[in-house]
Amino acid sequence: MTVASEVTLHRPVKTARAEGPWSVEAVQALLDMPFMDLVHQAQTVHRQHFPEGDIELATLLSVKTGGCPENCGYCPQSAEFDTGVKAQKLMEVDEVLRAAKAAQDAGATRFCMGAAWRAPKDRDVEKVAALIEAVKGLGMQTCATLGMLEPHQAQALKSAGLDYYNHNLDTAPEYYTDVVQTRQYQDRLDTLAAVRAAGINVCCGGIVGMGEQPVHRAGLIAQLANLDPYPESVPINSLVRVPGTPLADSEPVDPFEFVRMIAVARITMPKARVRLSAGRQQLGEAVQALCFMAGANSIFYGDKLLVTGNPDVEADVQLLRKLGLQARRTQQVEEPCA
């Protein structure tokens, strides 16, 4: 028997629904597609909505590190876990501005500021607003992730010039309490609603490799894709197993399963920037290339993500060059996804 008789060549690509609402079953059907068919479909959707094929470079800075009272099982900044991360106060404006200018000079167009709070106090929001105004003055897109927000706090951040707010759903609702016990899934959704109501673009994704089952991965994508509208930025993280956290001994996610998540995010949220986020170091160049083929078009850029490692700038420049990919040059905020 020849190889050609064992494998069906040029198999017609199955087409799934491209518009919501997306059921968990519909998302699971995508995740279960033959790998090459799935990537082909995702690449087709990607080219339709992002014909320029550019890669957005975003830099993330921890402006307030450690001491968070939450018990998120993946996070080295939780005060409940002994990970060696020391609690630090909020950075000063001039420190943040220097970091943002360095990121801009290295090619980043979006600057993200993260603070390890469960929920900021109003006085904290006032201080972060000053950071946002300073970074915005450089002409960069601004993003912040500060924990749960009240509607008036989201409005204050919008007034300061915030373009994007990151608040990840992490996983499917039915698996959430296996990862976090100090807040409810609805708390996350309420913050996203407050951000939307304030007119701020949403950055929202999740983490793969926390011991979840395939149905939970499908559930996460369904939750994201059914937000109205779905997020403008969708970070997909591969768990970084940090010693001292409850998830430190989790089984590494299969690289092809991670690529499948990227592809399904692209198909279900065709206009979003799908971002390769935490865990890129452990993926390696070949898997990252598959992710770009599957529709990823944004990366966190710089040698650190909050307190965990990330490929250095020169490594990313070389990888994009090898693949013939161009970094996004414009700093204009994209239109909300419909």
pLDDT in tens, 194-243: 999 999 999 999 999 999 999 999 999 999 999 999 999 999 998 888 88
Catalytic residue among 11, 47, 75, 183: 75
pLDDT of residue 309 exceeding 60, the answer is no
Residues in the chain: 338
pLDDT of residue 271 exceeding 80, the answer is yes
C-beta separation of 128 from 115 below 8 A:
yes
Catalytic residue among 110, 112, 291, 328: 112
Residue 330 lies in a domain: no
Residue 4 lies in a domain: no
- Residue 314: both structure tokens together: 């020169």
* 68 catalytic per annotation: yes
Catalytic residue among 275, 291, 328, 337: 275
Exposure of 19 by Cβ count < 10 A (0-12 exposed, 13-18 middle, 19+ buried)? exposed
DSSP character string of 116-164: --SS--HHHHHHHHHHHHHHHTTT-EEEEE-S---HHHHHHHHHHT--E
* 204 catalytic per annotation: no
* 143 catalytic per annotation: yes
Q: Which of 38-42, 74-78, 123-127, 142-146 has the lowest mean pLDDT?
A: 74-78
What local confidence, expressed as pLDDT, does residue 278 receive?
Answer: 81
Q: Measure the CA angle with vertex 264, ends 314 and 44; round to 5°.
A: 80
pLDDT of residue 122 exceeding 80, the answer is yes
* 275 catalytic per annotation: yes
CATH of the domain at 92: 3.20.20.70
Residue 2 lies in a domain: no
* 291 catalytic per annotation: no
What local confidence, expressed as pLDDT, does residue 333 receive?
Answer: 60
* 337 catalytic per annotation: no
* 203 catalytic per annotation: yes
Residue 252 lies in a domain: yes
Q: Which of 11-25, 199-213, 251-265, 282-296 has the lowest mean pLDDT?
A: 11-25
Catalytic residue among 183, 188, 196, 203: 203
Q: Structural domain of residue 107, as residue ranges?
A: 20-323
State which H helix or E strand residue 286 sits in: helix 280-293
Task: Identify the band that residue 4 occupies on the pLDDT scale cut at 50, 70 and 90.
Answer: very low
Catalytic residue among 143, 204, 291, 337: 143
Against a cut of 0.85, is the pTM above it? Answer: yes
Average pLDDT over residues 64-72: 77
Structural domains in the chain (count):
1
What local confidence, expressed as pLDDT, does residue 284 receive?
Answer: 86
